[in-house]
Structure 1
């Protein structure tokens, strides 16, 4: 009865870390996966594989990083802020590889989606990739089997 009169306040959520290249990449991967308003297990697994391979993390640490990135993406600044971090901290060849990874996430569910593709194209442009590299990345992604 007292609980109804004096409900416990939920603790303040833990503040999110300041985005760095690692978190910016993870948040953008999540953003691509969410672009079609569906977030399926195959996309989550692909994000975990990418984070694990990119940052030499074990499966549990990759999943924890993804969870932080999901929270950051929900409360985050827009795509330009994330891509600016990556442009400042990651060289061009690595940004191009990030685009390949984002395509792997977009195609992880086995379906092409216009919303995911347009989100991905906007991210690639914001990463400063050339139109030729964007086209080549798309073509390679659509030709190759999904996954890393």
Structure 2
């Protein structure tokens, strides 16, 4: 632990104006938040993976190979991260309010992809929506939109 802290300070001191190369990209941050919803109920269904792929392809308009890499990186980031701060802060900083609402809608689509309404998934979406400063009204509206589709 101490070694990793020292390594961090050495990197910052060596390149004070340089961004940290290990910080996530905006695409990775959004994908990681979606992966967090997918794993909230401790079970990842094939329908959830297919929905994640479709959502990322539609949202980012990337090639299939890039989507595969993004999904793998996002799942790895979520497994190894301590909290969601780096992802949420990046999304809050660069996404407009409407883009954050759309991300919450995507979370609902992913949570309901397996045909189940799991309380742990709803709780995680509520937490992330609050952290991204999405209103409760929009949280509920997106939930109802996705359920109606």
1:25 corresponds to 2:25: no
| Higher normalized helix content (fraction of residues) | 2
1:139 corresponds to 2:144: yes
Of 61, 81, 90, the residue aligned with 1:85 is 90
Runs of 4+ aligned residues of structure 1 deviating over 6 Å after TM superposition are: none
The corresponding residue for 2:106 is: 101
TM-score (ref. length: structure 2): 0.81
Deviations 1:39-87 (A, max 9, x none): 1111111111111111111222211110010001111241233111100
The corresponding residue for 1:57 is: 62
Unmatched 5+ stretches in structure 2 = 1-20
Alpha-carbon distance in 2 for matches of 1:118, 1:142: 16
Greater mean deviation of Cα atoms: 29-38 or 58-67? 58-67
Alpha-carbon distance in 2 for matches of 1:87, 1:99: 12
The structure that has the greater radius of gyration is 1
Of 108, 120, 123, the residue aligned with 1:118 is 123
Alpha-carbon distance in 2 for matches of 1:104, 1:55: 16
**What RMSD, in angstroms, separates the aligned Cα atoms of the two structures?**
1.4
Shift of 1:112: 0.7
TM-score (ref. length: structure 1): 0.82
Of 44, 49, 61, the residue aligned with 2:49 is 44
Unmatched 5+ stretches in structure 1 = 1-15
Alpha-carbon distance in 2 for matches of 1:81, 1:53: 24
Shift of 1:113: 0.4
